[in-house]
Amino acid sequence: MNPNLNHLQPYPFEKLARLKQGIVPPADKAHIALSIGEPKHITPHIIQEALITHMHGLSAYPSTRGLPELRQSMSEWIARRFQISADLLDPETQILPVNGTREALFSFAQCLVEPSEKPLVLMPNPFYQIYEGAALLAGAQPYFLNTTEENAYIPNFDTVPESVWRRCQLLYICSPGNPTGAVIPQTQLEYLIELAERYDFVIASDECYSEIYADENNPPTGLLEAAVAIGNTEFKRCVIFHSLSKRSNAPGLRSGFVAGDAEILQRYFQYRTYHGCAMPVPTQHASIAAWRDEAHVVDNRQLYREKFSAFKDILSEATAVTIPPASFYIWLKTPVSEIQFAQQLFASENVTVLPGSYLSRPFNESDPGRNHVRIALVAPIYECIDAARRIKNFIHTL
Class of domain 3-42+296-397: alpha beta
Q: How far apart are CA 107 and CA 110, in angstroms?
A: 5
DSSP-assigned letters across all residues of 145-170: EE--GGGTTS--GGGS-HHHHHHEEE
Domain with CATH 3.90.1150.10 in the chain: 3-42+296-397
Q: How far apart are CA 15 and CA 21, in angstroms?
A: 10
Instruction: Read off the pTM.
Output: 0.97
Q: In the prediction, which pLDDT does 116 show?
A: 87
Which of 3.40.640.10, 3.40.50.10300, 3.40.1360.10, 3.40.190.10 is the CATH number of 59-293?
A: 3.40.640.10
Q: In the prediction, which pLDDT does 215 show?
A: 98
Q: Please enumerate in sequence order all residues whose Cβ is within 8 A of that of 84, keeping only pairs 6 or more positions apart, or say none.
A: 78, 224, 225, 228
Map residue 118 onto helix, strand or coil. coil
Domain with CATH 3.40.640.10 in the chain: 59-293
pLDDT < 70 positions in the chain? none
pLDDT in tens, 242-283: 999 999 999 999 999 999 999 999 999 999 999 988 999 999
Identify the CA nearest to 289 among candidates 60, 5, 47. 47
Identify the CA nearest to 358 among candidates 343, 377, 338, 384. 338
Q: In the prediction, which pLDDT does 249 show?
A: 98
